[in-house]
Amino acid sequence: MTRSDALFARAQTLMPGGVNSPVRAFGSVGGTPRFMVSAKGPYLTDADGTEYVDLVCSWGPALLGHAHPAVLEAVHAAVDRGLSFGASTPDEANLAALVQERVPAAERVRMVSTGTEATMTAVRLARGFTGRNLIIKFAGCYHGHLDGLLAAAGSGVATLALPGSAGVTEATAAETLVLPYNDLAAVEAAFAAHGPSIAAVITEAAPANMGVVTPGEGFNLGLSRITREHGALLIVDEVLTGFRTGYSGYWGLTGGAPDAAEPWTPDLLTFGKVIGGGMPAAALAGRADVMDYLAPLGPVYQAGTLSGNPVAMAAGVATLTHATHDVYSFVDVRSLELSSALSSALDSEGVDHSIQFAGNLFSVAFGTSANGVHNYADAQAQETFRYAPFFHSMLDSGVYLPPSVFEAWFLSAAHDDAAMNRIFDALPAAAKAAAAAQA
């Protein structure tokens, strides 16, 4: 029995499933989850002392690499000043200013503690501002575990093959319209039928919780046009892509790009993960007139004792300050190198697949070369049985992948040549394992 085996056995007697977030339980890939005890640069070390090249990067926040010296220095200094004050601190505004500088659509910023809290607040704010009840979301997009948005969600819900969640009432579910992703005609039809009752459309800037799915050309632009025409709001969820896929997130690569052929601007955005630099932090941002509907200025109430926590704010400020354009260029190159090597290894073994991109994020989908993956139905129809043997082969070779085929792969500015070569060396055997897999 390994140390991870023993730790997992103990955890299962203390916590539901032995974990505090479902995907960590290795439910879709099988085996014992590795219990990590330290991280540095591009590497993780588990409780048995085994080192792995990390392609999860804390699900995004470790953009600079684990334990980046500047982030650690900022956190240590903040800890020395006190862990929490329950009062305003300078770094709340400092981090908000960095967000606004990168994302001009963020005219006002409200700090919260989790991505779920950010999207929950965005939905409440949209309803309060418009006076309407209905929300449109897309199948396979994951916006946290708030009741009304768990219908046909991705992430761990996709991994567990759950259509929603027990505990969500029919009345709550009825206030969410779930449409196929990348289908503007379905959005037009929903507004034709329910337009005066629709408060907002919420979408991931680029979905990365059913695997990565690239938005079709003009899709996000079309959402902006349709919501504007009908007096609804467009909420763009960048909890995962924000400050990850580029300096200004995925919106900054597309509708908000300086050279965008058809620019568009969301009404509200949500951020998480990278914005906290590895600490629990997230944010809601957007149009000043909408954001000012939040208390204490407006009638939409939101509060959080640990919102804007000084240690988390320090980590976020340090991370965004050091996440320069050069950092994103480096991660972009590494992403292209790895995705190309992955595809070549699978091709060598005759494994049918496609790779979807959203900036420097990508994922592999088995058995989808003919049409790729454009929506949740496509993602669910892939040959998921090939991923578990692929995953475990990589794990045995010292490479830690997302323990679900429905997740993105992450690289960092710390993935140097030595780390990349370890990944490349592991791919041929993993491709063979995927090829030999049986449904």
The candidate with the shortest Cα–Cα distance to 201, out of 126, 135, 287, 122, is: 135
Distance, in Å, from the CA atom of 258 to the CA atom of 87, rounded to the nearest integer, reads 38
242 class by beta-carbon count within 10 Å (0-12 exposed, 13-18 middle, 19+ buried): buried
Q: Is 387 a catalytic residue?
A: no
DSSP 357: E
- Site of tokens 């779930």: 178
Distance, in Å, from the CA atom of 149 to the CA atom of 239, rounded to the nearest integer, reads 15
Q: Is the bond preceding 42 in cis, omega lying within 30 degrees of 0?
A: no
3-state helix, strand, coil in the chain (%, to 5): 45, 15, 40
CA 197, 201, 202, 207 dihedral sign is: positive
Distance, in Å, from the CA atom of 395 to the CA atom of 34, rounded to the nearest integer, reads 10
Write out the H or E segment, with its range, that includes residue 50: none
Beta-strand relationship, 108-112 and 51-54: unpaired
Distance, in Å, from the CA atom of 29 to the CA atom of 391, rounded to the nearest integer, reads 7
Catalytic member of 43, 46, 54, 142: 142
Distance, in Å, from the CA atom of 389 to the CA atom of 260, rounded to the nearest integer, reads 42
Q: Is 137 a catalytic residue?
A: no
Distance, in Å, from the CA atom of 207 to the CA atom of 105, rounded to the nearest integer, reads 20
Catalytic member of 46, 54, 91, 237: 237
Distance, in Å, from the CA atom of 208 to the CA atom of 365, rounded to the nearest integer, reads 12
Specify whether the CB–CB gap between 155 and 23 falls below 8 A. yes
Task: Report the DSSP beta bridge partners of residue 285.
Answer: 109, 269
Specify whether the CB–CB gap between 241 and 360 falls below 8 A. no
* 3 state SS of 400: strand
The candidate with the shortest Cα–Cα distance to 102, out of 352, 321, 422, is: 321
The dihedral region occupied by 144, where left means phi > 0, alpha psi between -120 and 50, and beta the remainder, is left
Catalytic member of 273, 376, 387, 400: 273
Q: Is 142 a catalytic residue?
A: yes
Distance, in Å, from the CA atom of 323 to the CA atom of 124, rounded to the nearest integer, reads 32
Which tokens belong to 372? 């790729």
**Angle, CA of 292, 295 and 297, to the nearest 5°:** 50
Active site residues: 142, 237, 273
